[in-house]
Amino acid sequence: MIRGIILASGFSRRMKKDKLLMEIDGVKMVEKVIQESSISQLDQVILIYRSEEVRKIGDKYGVKTLYNPNAHLGQSAGVKIGVEESGNADAYMFLMGDQPFINSKLIDKLIYQYRKSSSTIIVPCYNGRNGTPTIFSSIHRDELLNIQGDKGGRDIIKKNPYAVMKVHIDDEQLGLDIDTPVDFKSIEGK
């Protein structure tokens, strides 16, 4: 069982407004991630939120929503909530709420690679750079529960190079995350 954990409880400080609620082609950024996750082969989708508006979008799609009371501690707080609430999951896929071009085909491709390999960490690689969504086997559960600060599993990936399978993704746009007004402007109309 692979649980999808959408990390959507950040503060959008660089954007200066809640980027997850910004629309691309008439769809809120986080809603696109929820839609694509919901139609993928993920066994369950969990949305880690801070804003009530983001929660309402999750409710609309029937995904499990969990409030992050420690969002101020950074991304690690959302990771921990998702892992703790995933029960007996075999693996966790971490998705970012600010990746509006992600699609179910990419999610399913990463799940396929995870299932057919002996690797315990699956990392998509866009133009030579590691990206998300990433999959971690539950054997990394304790490591995930011990991360600190505003980062996800980056240090775990560095610490376990033998466990990592990189999956090369040709379409770089799938891995784009939107952090600043300049980022947003550059994708309008794509």
112 compared with 13, residue with greater pLDDT: 112
Predicted confidence (pLDDT) at residue 181 exceeds the cutoff of 60: no
Model confidence band, residue 151 (pLDDT cutoffs 50, 70, 90): confident
Question: What is the token pair recorded at 65?
Answer: 């929503």
What's the pLDDT score for residue 12?
Answer: 46
What's the pLDDT score for residue 72?
Answer: 86
Distances (CA, A) of 145 to 9, 75, 170: 17, 12, 32
Domain boundaries, the chain: 2-185
Predicted confidence (pLDDT) at residue 184 exceeds the cutoff of 80: no
- In tens, the pLDDT along 60-114 reads 999 999 999 998 888 889 999 999 999 889 999 999 998 888 999 999 999 999 9
Q: What is the CA radius of gyration of the chain?
A: 15
CATH class of the structural domain 2-185: alpha beta
Cis peptide before 133 (omega within 30 of 0): yes
Question: What is the token pair recorded at 48?
Answer: 């880690």
Predicted confidence (pLDDT) at residue 189 exceeds the cutoff of 60: no
- For residues 2-8, give the mean pLDDT: 96
The answer to whether the CB of 17 falls within 8 A of the CB of 10 is: no
pTM, entire model: 0.90
Q: 1-5, 78-82, 150-154: which has the minimum mean pLDDT?
A: 150-154
Alpha carbon distance 114, 138 (integer Å): 12
Alpha helix positions (H), 94-150: 104-116, 141-145
Question: What is the token pair recorded at 143?
Answer: 């490591």
